[in-house]
Chain A
Amino acid sequence: MSPETVRTRTRPEAAISDRPPAVAIAAAVVGGLFFALPLAGLVWRAPWSSVAAELASQPARDALRLSMVTSLAATAVALVLGVPLAWVQARVAYPGKRVVRALTTLPMVLPPVVGGVALLLALGRRGIVGSQLDRIGVNLPFTTAGAILAQTFVAMPFLVLTLEAAFRSADHRLEEAARTLGATRLCVFRRVTLPLVAPSLLAGTVLCWARALGEFGATITFAGNLEGRTQTLPLFVYVKLEGSNPESAIVLSLVLLAVSLAVLISLRDRWLTVR
């Protein structure tokens, strides 16, 4: 602690300082640099002269299209399944609830490749459920649907956890008031509960989408890597890194970066704060 700060604290008229503490600023700067430097490295080392050619290539356009389609689809599935799950976890008491919460958190701690292997063992040709699906002609590995499933598996927990916390802390009294005024449960959910948790829903959805967009390990293990069908942008970048021209991987990484930044920057602060 600098002597300056100590003196400020002992002087009663300046007991509440308007300046943020220097230590916090220093740590924050380091934290900011930690994120900014690798990204600056990408921009600095990108072979800008070949950017246009790289992006115009069919594999690159396929990869970008697939990434957009699969990540958005995965987010949609996560919403359809995750919102009810989060609500049940927050509002309904049942035996084994803690186990279910642990299970929904599992994909976040599992290495993605392990998640992919687990999906294969469950839904692959010889899997527990997969073998039955195979019998009726439904094959998930090596398909775009498989890629969407892999992304949903790793990304949904982000949505569920964010939303569950929000449902739990939403003011029940407002919902109860609506009920006493005669609203049906569905109406209460639509007109009272959801607006109450809207900021968390938005934040959770964006997190989920971002995670799905960046997914690599589970996708390549479960869905494989085929241009136009399962080769999303992260897979394409990795494959490029193995090739004779690894610098082209940088260009594609920048595309991913630009897309993500565009979405995140467009999210206004006030949409994400609880009023």
Chain B
Amino acid sequence: MLTVSGCASDQPGTGPAPQLGSDSSRAPALTGALTVFAAASLTESFSDLRATLKASAPGLALTYSFGASGPLVSQVIQGAPADVIATADEVTMKRLTDASLVEAPVIFARNQLEILVAPGNPRGVKALADLARSDLKVVLADDTVPAGRYAAEALAAAGTTVSPVSREVDVKSAAAKVILGEADATIVYVTDVTAAGSRGEGIAIPPAFNVVAEYPLAIVKEAPNRAAAAALVESLVEGAGQDALRRRGFLPPPR
């Protein structure tokens, strides 16, 4: 039984309208307390999902912990009580699979990079190569953060060397520096540019240099609430969760 939910997206660039499964058949499992650890770039879409679930899954007490993927993984390794964990790249998730702490991860979303600058682009940034300009203050996420690694890949593909004034500890901090006006430009996810709204402007990165970030999602083996965890994973892969992700600019997972 497939029904298209009321908020199905017809946004350009997302391909044919997704056939979304009816979450009401899974709602019975979405109850109880559920703790989700998620990479910082998932903040807005996951928060949207929580708002949606308040109506369709009233028995669910959903708690989020957003942060850089690395520390979240470290916390799970140290025994933090997460049911589900979503990271921004497979390198970070691999630490959990190597330690046999999670079920097999599934890619549930993809993202791409974009340059973020101040509204109106006062410094005239047009391409990745401009980030090497000495008159620009550029911040990047640190290499130990997925967004930082992706940005380094994109810059390497473009043959540009950038000397950032700071290496931020997560992608949201990098975006914040530009939004606050302290830095002139940064490389963040497309979804972060969308989230900045009128406080920032995005400069596209051509596909030849751009990187496709794949986000893995996994159920923690010792999850206190495995039934709800499985239900949430399904929702995120092809349910209301996936819908929330698309609305915020994420790309669908590979089929």
| Chain B residues, Cβ within 8 Å of A243 | 70, 144
- Tell me whether A224 and B166 are in contact (CB under 8 A): yes
Interface residues of B in 38-80 (CB under 8 A from A): 68-71, 74
State how many angstroms separate the Cβ of B145 from the closest Cβ of chain A.
Answer: 6
- Tell me whether B181 and A220 are in contact (CB under 8 A): no
Whose C-beta in chain A lies nearest to the C-beta of B139? A224
- Tell me whether A226 and B166 are in contact (CB under 8 A): yes
- Tell me whether A225 and B166 are in contact (CB under 8 A): yes
| Chain B residues, Cβ within 8 Å of A244 | 91, 95, 144
Interface residues on B, range: 20 to 34
State how many angstroms separate the Cβ of B93 from the closest Cβ of chain A.
Answer: 12
| Chain A residues, Cβ within 8 Å of B95 | 244
Q: Complex formed: what's the CA distance from A126 to B137 in Å?
A: 14
State how many angstroms separate the Cβ of A201 from the closest Cβ of chain B.
Answer: 36
Q: Complex formed: what's the CA distance from A173 to B70 in Å?
A: 61
Known contacts A241-B70, A244-B91: A225-B144 contact under CB 8 Å: no
- Tell me whether A226 and B182 are in contact (CB under 8 A): no
Whose C-beta in chain A lies nearest to the C-beta of B68? A242
Whose C-beta in chain A lies nearest to the C-beta of B181? A126
- Tell me whether A124 and B180 are in contact (CB under 8 A): yes
| Chain A residues, Cβ within 8 Å of B166 | 142, 223-226, 230
Q: Complex formed: what's the CA distance from A247 to B4 in Å?
A: 48
| Chain B residues, Cβ within 8 Å of A238 | 169
- Tell me whether A141 and B182 are in contact (CB under 8 A): yes
| Chain B residues, Cβ within 8 Å of A246 | 70, 74
| Chain B residues, Cβ within 8 Å of A142 | 137, 165-166, 182
- Tell me whether B182 and A225 are in contact (CB under 8 A): no
State how many angstroms separate the Cβ of B197 from the closest Cβ of chain A.
Answer: 18
For residue B164, CB closer than 8 A to chain A, the reply is yes
Q: Complex formed: what's the CA distance from A21 to B95 in Å?
A: 50
Whose C-beta in chain B lies nearest to the C-beta of A121? B180
Whose C-beta in chain B lies nearest to the C-beta of A142? B165
For residue B130, CB closer than 8 A to chain A, the reply is no
State how many angstroms separate the Cβ of A233 from the closest Cβ of chain B.
Answer: 15
| Chain B residues, Cβ within 8 Å of A230 | 166
Q: Give 1 or 0 for each of A207-231: 1 = CB within 8 Å of chain B CB.
A: 0000000000000100111110010
- Tell me whether A224 and B168 are in contact (CB under 8 A): yes
Q: Give 1 or 0 for each of B135-161: 1 = CB within 8 Å of chain A CB.
A: 001010010110000000000000000
- Tell me whether A120 and B168 are in contact (CB under 8 A): no
Interface residues of B in 178-194 (CB under 8 A from A): 180-182
Q: Complex formed: what's the CA distance from A239 to B170 in Å?
A: 10
- Tell me whether B169 and A242 are in contact (CB under 8 A): yes
- Tell me whether A241 and B168 are in contact (CB under 8 A): no
| Chain A residues, Cβ within 8 Å of B167 | 224-227, 239
Known contacts A142-B137, A226-B164, A244-B95: A239-B182 contact under CB 8 Å: no
Q: Complex formed: what's the CA distance from A227 to B164 in Å?
A: 10
Interface residues of A in 109-160 (CB under 8 A from B): 120, 124-126, 141-142
- Tell me whether A224 and B165 are in contact (CB under 8 A): yes
State how many angstroms separate the Cβ of A118 from the closest Cβ of chain B.
Answer: 12
| Chain A residues, Cβ within 8 Å of B144 | 239-240, 242-244
| Chain B residues, Cβ within 8 Å of A242 | 68-71, 74, 142, 144-145, 169
Q: Complex formed: what's the CA distance from A142 to B139 in Å?
A: 10
Whose C-beta in chain A lies nearest to the C-beta of B137? A142
Q: Complex formed: what's the CA distance from A220 to B169 in Å?
A: 9
Q: Complex formed: what's the CA distance from A28 to B91 in Å?
A: 45
- Tell me whether B74 and A239 are in contact (CB under 8 A): no
| Chain A residues, Cβ within 8 Å of B169 | 220, 225, 238-239, 242
Q: Complex formed: what's the CA distance from A227 to B168 in Å?
A: 12
State how many angstroms separate the Cβ of A237 from the closest Cβ of chain B.
Answer: 11
| Chain A residues, Cβ within 8 Å of B69 | 242
| Chain A residues, Cβ within 8 Å of B74 | 241-242, 246
State how many angstroms separate the Cβ of A94 from the closest Cβ of chain B.
Answer: 36
Q: Complex formed: what's the CA distance from A168 to B173 in Å?
A: 43
Interface residues of A (CB under 8 A from B): 120, 124-126, 141-142, 220, 223-227, 230, 238-244, 246
Interface residues of B (CB under 8 A from A): 68-71, 74, 91, 95, 137, 139, 142, 144-145, 164-169, 173, 177, 180-182
Nearest 9 Cβ contacts at the A-B interface: A224-B166, A242-B70, A243-B144, A142-B165, A242-B144, A126-B181, A225-B167, A124-B182, A141-B182
Q: Give 12 A-B pairs besides A125-B182, A240-B144 with Cβ atoms closer than 8 angstroms.
A: A125-B181, A126-B180, A126-B182, A142-B166, A220-B173, A224-B166, A225-B168, A225-B169, A227-B167, A230-B166, A242-B145, A244-B91
27 cross-chain CB contacts under 8 A: A124-B180, A124-B182, A126-B180, A141-B182, A142-B165, A142-B166, A220-B169, A224-B139, A224-B166, A225-B167, A225-B168, A225-B169, A226-B164, A226-B165, A230-B166, A238-B169, A239-B142, A239-B144, A239-B169, A240-B144, A241-B71, A242-B71, A242-B142, A242-B169, A244-B91, A244-B144, A246-B74
